[in-house]
Structure 1
Amino acid sequence: MSGRLTTHVLDLSQGLPATGMVLQLWRLEGRQGKLLLEAVTNADGRLNAPLLEGAQMEAGSYELLFMAGDYFRSIQSRLGVDATSSEDVMESETPFFLEQIPIRFKITNVTDHYHVPLLVAPGGYSTYRGS
């Protein structure tokens, strides 16, 4: 079986999958990083395809970067919560403790399934190596 890397994001503040959260996958090489892809979670809080699979799986250090602040601002907007009267002010002053959530991990066995779930709320998050 060929390896793959997947993720799943759950919004604990709503008790629902985090639909529409933008995330990036970076390969870390020394002090430099290489953006491999940017994706958006679907209605189930997952991606429509693995982040990496098969020949794309390479041993090394990676980072998943979740755009949590943008996601929670979009939730406010959808729910009609207007934190300020100006969008520019809202973008810079809406108090989200977590703007971006970086999760760094290593892939050592390219034939394994690496699953990196994110449980997130406006004030905190949790992650673990899933199955």
Structure 2
Amino acid sequence: MSGLSTHVLDAVHGAPAVGLRVSLFHAKNGEIATATTDADGRVPELLPAPIEVGNYRLSFDTGSYFEVLNTPTFYPEVSVSFTVTDPNAHHHVPLLLSPFAYSTYRGS
């Protein structure tokens, strides 16, 4: 597997974050991809390999997601910046989400 994927879990509801909009930005090229999480909270291939070496940012539209659930949130958007150094490696960026906290890590 290669390319870029993400997985969003809603920690408050103990379930995948379904229907959450995710946008990918490249430092030099601006927005290069947009997708919505599936029934498992995943975007399995936001960008196929090879991925250009450089700096990227994933933007998760958490405000709209929690608005649909009628849940107030402190973070209307979560942005995760990362660097690609190996264009052929798989890059997985998971997000664990709640209305007042979030965490992320480099997944496999």
**Alignment of structure 1 residues 40-79 onto 2, 5 Å:** 40-47=36-43, 49-55=44-50, 57-76=51-70
Q: Distance in 1 between matches of 2:64 and 2:49?
A: 31
Q: Which residue of 1 aligns with 2:105?
A: 128
Flag as ranges the 4+ runs of structure 1 deviating above 4 A.
none
Bigger helix share? 1
| TM-score w.r.t. length of structure 1 | 0.77
The residue type paired with residue 45 of structure 2 is P
Please report how far the alpha carbon of residue 25 of structure 1 lies from its aligned counterpart in structure 2 after TM superposition. Answer: 0.4
The residue type paired with residue 65 of structure 1 is S
Aligned pairs, number: 108
Q: Distance in 2 between matches of 1:54 and 1:10?
A: 24
**Alignment of structure 1 residues 96-111 onto 2, 5 Å:** 96-111=73-88
Structure 2, gaps ≥5 residues long: none
**Alignment of structure 1 residues 4-23 onto 2, 5 Å:** 4-23=3-22
Give the aligned CA root-mean-square deviation in angstroms: 1.5
Q: Which residue of 1 aligns with 2:26?
A: 27
Bigger strand share? 2
| TM-score w.r.t. length of structure 2 | 0.93
Q: SS at the partner of 1:42? A: coil
Identity of aligned residues (%): 43
